[in-house]
Amino acid sequence: MTVMKPLLALAAVATLGIAACDQVAPAAPEPTPGPLAQSSALNGTYNLLESNCGDPASDKRLVIDGNKFMFPASTCTVASSEPQVNRTRVTLACEGSPAAGNRVVDLQTRPDGTLRMTEDSITLTYHQCMKASASTDSLVGQTM
């Protein structure tokens, strides 16, 4: 009986220790998007007029695919981006007419699914027509 008490105590401590390990073990982390997914989070097609979302020939259309911003008359590549408090400042290197050269725009995503783009004192609100998967080139080469 005297040997039995220490064994029971040892068994109880071991059981509590195992139970404590189960409770203390960290939960498996949930997957989070890496830098590539975040930089492509805007992928999709947009239009200044929501009613023109189905018109592939719209002159108010914007296609974003990865680091490419494709406007009706120009194609731009993101040269740099700088996250700020409520927006991201993006420098675009553009080819095409009339918007060739560098453009600096501020981008804001809104809860209603719109994308606000401000350049100098002009702010345009684009409606998201179609969202594309992040980190894909599925829209590159799409005609305007």
Mean pLDDT of the chain: 75
pLDDT at residue number 125: 96
pLDDT along the chain (144 residues), means of 10: 53 50 55 45 91 90 91 91 91 81 91 91 94 57 41
Distance CA 114, CA 2 (A): 76
Q: How far apart are CA 11 and CA 33, in angstroms?
A: 45
- For 54, the token pair is 């189905």
The CA–CA distances, whole Å, from 118 to 8, 91, 106, 107, 131 equal 72, 12, 5, 7, 21
Task: Write out pLDDT tens, residues 77-110.
Answer: 999 999 988 899 999 999 986 667 888 999 999 8
Q: What letter would DSSP give residue 29?
A: P
Domain boundaries, the chain: 36-131
